[in-house]
């Protein structure tokens, strides 16, 4: 399996116009050497701004058939407009990269976003967007990568709620659990390919600000006090774990603990820090801690419903 490095890479970053995707693009461009970084998103305006922010240039460069990589050790940063939820557009992206003689060595599937809310209050558009942004963008690009770039390191981005879905995340958590399942299957089907999965907790980004605008009070109550870490610190932790060879990564202690509770006897190919301890703690927690905590959550949700009924 290839070792993770910030140097001599061709990186495709889905969702590279903001948040963690943009931060990874900055890291590879500014801290690495001899890299070609391709940031991908639906919005040309956001992509142009992101590239200019990172490079410090007034104009950004779009990936075209005439693009040529640098050979003097400097890194290149370009953008490609693509709606990754549309499979035909992803195929065109692959053809464009091929025409530029670019074979990705790392693919980061960062695209995603949450619209918290009660299931009955969400619009049909919200549900459809959740499927497209949080799953289809991921599965489409992963499928093309497995078919055309079998040596590329795939880095999927799920969420801590994949281990513990709860009220308010119906538009988001089921899709993040789907990514977790997809990763398990791909590790069986593509043993020659390094496949990592990151389960981030809260981190400060544009998406996090929007998420808190619609998040129900009961969701915040169950989440508890969880300060969002800076986006740069979040990416630094992920890079550090990838360099150490771990492929199941959490970004805070809560995420690591929740992963423990998810590790049953049927756990497949888990490569996370302290996994033997996680397995032991998972057994103990599922016997003692989890049942008590679930009773507390049940009480919180029941009390919330009663408060709503009184207000009605």
Which one of the listed residues 41, 76, 158, 159 is annotated catalytic? Answer: 158
- Partnered with residue 155 across adjacent β-strands are 108, 196
CB-based contacts of 182-191 (< 8 A; 24+ apart in sequence): 182/138, 182/139, 182/142, 182/156, 183/156, 183/158, 184/268, 184/269, 186/142, 186/146, 186/154, 187/268, 187/269, 188/268, 188/269, 189/146, 190/146, 190/150
Judge whether 303 counts as a catalytic residue: no
* 172 catalytic residue (yes or no): yes
Catalytic residue among 176, 199, 235, 272: 176
DSSP state of 73: S
Which DSSP state fits 121?
Answer: G
Residue 106 DSSP label:
E
Closest CA to 77 of 159, 9, 167: 9
**C-alpha atoms less than 13 angstroms from C-alpha of 108 in its C-beta half-sphere:** 29
Q: Chain-centre distance of CA 245, in angstroms?
A: 18
Catalytic residue status for 108: no
Neighbours of 24 (CB within 10 A): 25
Does residue 99 contact residue 65 with C-beta atoms inside 8 Å?
A: yes
Catalytic residue among 79, 135, 169, 172: 172
Do the beta carbons of residue 206 and residue 164 sit within 8 Å?
A: no
Residue 12 makes CB contacts below 8 A (sequence gap 6+) with 38, 40, 97, 104, 106, 107, 108, 141
CA separation for the pair 42, 36 (Å, rounded): 20
| Distance of alpha carbon 62 from alpha carbon 162, whole angstroms | 35
* Catalytic residue IDs: 158, 172, 176
């Amino acid at each position: 399996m290839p070792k993770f490095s910030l140097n001599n890479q061709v990186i495709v970053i889905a969702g590279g116009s903001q948040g963690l995707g943009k931060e990874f693009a900055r890291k590879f461009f500014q801290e690495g050497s001899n890299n070609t970084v391709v940031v991908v998103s639906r919005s040309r305006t956001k992509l142009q701004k992101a590239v200019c922010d990172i490079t410090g240039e007034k104009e950004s460069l779009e990936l075209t058939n005439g693009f040529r990589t640098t050979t003097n050790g400097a890194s290149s940063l370009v953008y490609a407009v693509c709606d990754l939820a549309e499979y035909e557009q992803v195929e065109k992206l692959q053809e464009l990269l091929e025409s530029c003689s670019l074979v990705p060595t790392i693919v980061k599937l960062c695209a995603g976003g949450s619209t918290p809310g009660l299931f009955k209050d969400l619009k049909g558009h919200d549900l459809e967007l959740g499927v497209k942004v949080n799953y289809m963008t991921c599965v489409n690009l992963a499928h093309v990568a497995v078919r055309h770039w079998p040596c590329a390191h795939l880095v999927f981005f799920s969420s801590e709620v994949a281990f513990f879905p709860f009220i308010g995340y119906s538009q988001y958590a089921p899709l993040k659990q789907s990514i977790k399942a997809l990763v398990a299957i791909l590790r069986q089907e593509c043993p020659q390919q390094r496949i990592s999965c990151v389960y981030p907790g809260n981190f400060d980004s544009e998406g996090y600000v929007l998420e808190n605008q619609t998040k129900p009070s009961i969701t915040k109550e169950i989440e508890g006090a969880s300060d969002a870490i800076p986006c740069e610190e979040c990416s630094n932790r992920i890079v550090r774990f990838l360099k150490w060879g771990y492929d199941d990564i959490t970004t805070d202690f809560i995420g690591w603990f929740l992963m423990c509770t998810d590790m049953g006897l049927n756990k497949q190919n888990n490569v996370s820090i302290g996994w033997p301890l996680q397995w032991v703690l998972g057994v103990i927690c599922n016997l003692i801690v989890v049942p008590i905590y679930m009773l507390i959550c049940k009480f919180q949700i029941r009390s919330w419903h009663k408060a709503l009924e009184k207000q009605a």
